[in-house]
Amino acid sequence: MHEKSIELLNKAVADELYAIHQYMYFHFHCDDQGYDLLAGLFIKTAIEEMGHVEKCAERILFLKGDVEMKPASEVKKIHDVKEMLKLAAKMEFESAKDYNVWANECSKNADSATKQIFESLVTDEERHFDQYDTETENLEKFGQNYLALQSIERSKGRQARPQAE
């Protein structure tokens, strides 16, 4: 009945799955390099994207479609923090743009429930964009000090912890 909505929702699922993979990859590398703030931001965002997959999947099943669990892209193996943030901000910007267009398309097809899902995703992706954009600005403003501080904070935390037996 709502074939177009099912198609758009599956496109969203693919984009969200790719975002989860990419952000988890960034999380692993930030964590490995001792950048706790960014490692935390990436994993927190990945978990939110998982919630987005769930919202879309529930709607697809309601519309009697099936969920295609295929990530839209392969993970890009970026290890430079500035490049990570640049890609993440771009992904969020493009998702927000696509979901806006898809919300309008659902509206034209008289499927206001799917439209509302896409609208709620736009709000979240704009917030994600803003977070990555802010961290990019911090990195540009404070340079290596911004990253060094995150590593120092982690070392301090380790020292404060009681020694294991």
Choose, by CB under 5 A, the member of 125, 132, 147, 150 that binds Fe ion.
125
Considering only residues 63 through 92, tell me which ones interact with Fe ion, judged by CB under 5 A: 92
> By CB under 5 A, is residue 111 in contact with Fe ion?
no
Choose, by CB under 5 A, the member of 21, 52, 59, 115 that binds Fe ion.
52
> By CB under 5 A, is residue 98 in contact with Fe ion?
no
> By CB under 5 A, is residue 55 in contact with Fe ion?
no
Q: Choose the stretch contacting Fe ion; rule: CB under 5 A; options: 21-29, 58-66, 118-126, 134-142.
A: 118-126
Choose, by CB under 5 A, the member of 2, 21, 115, 128 that binds Fe ion.
128
Cβ count within 10 A of residue 134: 13
Choose, by CB under 5 A, the member of 13, 39, 49, 84 that binds Fe ion.
49
Nearest 5 degrees, angle CA 20-CA 116-CA 130?
Answer: 50
Residues that bind Fe ion (CB under 5 A): 16, 49, 52, 92, 125, 128
